[in-house]
Amino acid sequence: MSRGVRRAGAGQGAAAALQLLVTLSFLPSVVEAQVTGVLDDCLCDVDSIDNFNTFKIFPKIKKLQERDYFRYYKVNLKRPCPFWAEDGHCSIKDCHVEPCPESKIPVGIKAVSSNKYLKVANNTKELEDCEQASKLGAINSTLSNQSREAFIDWARYDDSQDHFCELDDERSPAAQYVDLLLNPERYTGYKGSSAWRVWNSIYEENCFKPRSVYRPLNPLAPSRGESFYTWLEGLCLEKRVFYKLISGLHASINLHLCANYLLEETWGKPTWGPNMKEFKRRFDPVETKGEGPRRLKNLYFLYLIELRALSKVAPYFERSIVDLYTGNVKEDADTKTLLLNIFQDTKSFPMHFDEKSMFAGDKKGAKSLKEEFRLHFKNISRIMDCVGCDKCRLWGKLQTQGLGTALKILFSEKEIQKLPENSPSKGFQLTRQEIVALLNAFGRLSTSIKELQNFKVLLQHSATVYKKGQLF
């Protein structure tokens, strides 16, 4: 090799190294600079949410998710996709969900009702031995008249049109309990046309968007066309909020996959951890043409919405009649105390989103828009049954149901204010499935924000290490 070629190669290598150094040192500051400040459509700032989440919410919500009442989630992962022929299920082993054996489910959870948090529903001997029930979800004939009346009220309410989500029928033979702690949300390798089709359907067909406007980074978008954000800013508040909620949910899910990535597998023992390359691919301002920071800001916006819902629903759980029942009296009491403590924290947050600014126009128009909003979100919950990876489907269903429950709460303020203290409400009810989804979904958002802070530290550390290496 000639001396000139060697010099050229060395020069190119030095240039590449310099470019990498600049990129690594620049990236943390760019991410921090762009994911900061006041959020659009509300008066809250990113730093306030970070501090509130780190010191008040995250440690407590993590403990709550470990409690028996919240770790077992009943879900039907076998419902067929209602919109297109399925591409087939993911064959990657990490896509698999391990259902929980019947013997492992606490007696109070698998007993007679899907609303196993009210004392009126738990005050029976049948809860001590649920094996006598002919099938899960059956109403035992020995229940008191008061309990039977409560169940009828709940059934009637569950048949109403107030849901923002398509709920699984817990009585279906295909519905199974899943231990969420043993089936964590993380990178599974599920990607390609099947995964893209799901998100494309959500954004292109359910976000109040005309076909002529393409979402950012859509590979099918023409080189010229109406700017997405010009179009978005021209929408009413409600429709902007809808898009931000979906974008925030998407960002949160992507953060979980980046933070719990299969780094290596030696002798069948996997090592999971944060993958900075994957994080950059999904969120770096340069690689995403500025879209990554927008998505992360939408994550904070989604956090605010669900935080507001928790503060609003607190009176529902503060009633003496509500008992998060598993059959373990001491643990149930501790779980409720912890939950109420979290609710107190949510109410103390000083910069809540004001949901009263939504659907505030003329009554007829507002009602029509609210119904359209509800149906669009309900449709998205149905799309979750089209996800080909079981683990992705599990967490997709749980998090969309959690957000749907939050929306249901925000738009039921009058009904919540009228709740009776010592008897079941006929105007507003939450099933156990909704309660578990609501708190776990918020737990996922809290974790996402904590993971984002961790990535900022890791990126800063990488840049510092690389700079030091160049000095020697």
Query: In tens digits, what is the pLDDT along the chain, a chain of 472 residues?
Result: 444 444 444 444 444 444 444 444 445 545 555 688 889 888 899 999 999 999 999 999 999 999 999 999 999 999 999 998 876 667 678 899 999 998 999 999 987 455 555 555 555 444 444 333 333 333 333 344 454 455 444 444 444 457 888 888 888 888 999 999 999 999 998 888 889 999 999 998 899 988 888 888 887 777 665 688 888 989 999 999 999 999 999 999 999 999 999 999 888 788 999 999 999 999 999 999 889 999 999 999 999 999 999 999 999 999 988 889 999 999 999 999 999 999 999 999 999 998 888 888 788 888 899 999 999 999 999 999 999 999 999 999 999 999 999 999 999 988 998 888 887 777 889 999 999 999 999 999 999 999 999 999 998 877 666 555 554 4
> Coil, strand, or helix at residue 349?
coil
CA pair distance 301, 296, nearest whole angstrom? 9
Q: Where are the alpha helices (DSSP H) in 234-362?
A: 237-259, 276-283, 291-318, 329-348
Place of tokens 């303020």: 413
* Catalytic member of 44, 100, 386, 392: 392
| 320 assigned binding-site residue | no
C-alpha distances out from residue 307 to 303, 315, 354, 415, Å: 6, 15, 11, 19
- pTM score of the predicted model: 0.84
Active site annotation includes 389: yes
- Pick from 10, 109, 121: nearest CA to 69: 109
186 is known to lie in a ligand binding site: yes
Q: Which two tokens stand for residue 255?
A: 């953060």
Q: Does the annotation list 250 as a binding residue?
A: yes
Q: What is the CA radius of gyration of the chain?
A: 24
Q: Please identify which residue in the block is written with the tokens 């956090």.
A: 303
How many angstroms separate the CA atoms of 73 and 34, rounded? 37
SS3 assignment, position 80: coil
Q: What is the pLDDT of residue 433?
A: 94
Which residues have CB under 8 Å from 65's CB, separation 6+? 71, 180, 181, 439, 440, 443
pLDDT computed for residue 292 by the predictor: 93
Q: Reply yes or no on whether 392 is catalytic.
A: yes
Is 282 annotated in some ligand binding site? yes
294 marked among binding-site residues: no
Q: Which residues contact 430 (CB under 8 A, 6 or more apart)?
A: 115, 313, 316, 405, 438
Is 163 among the annotated ligand-binding positions?
no
Contact 41, 237 (CB under 8 A): yes
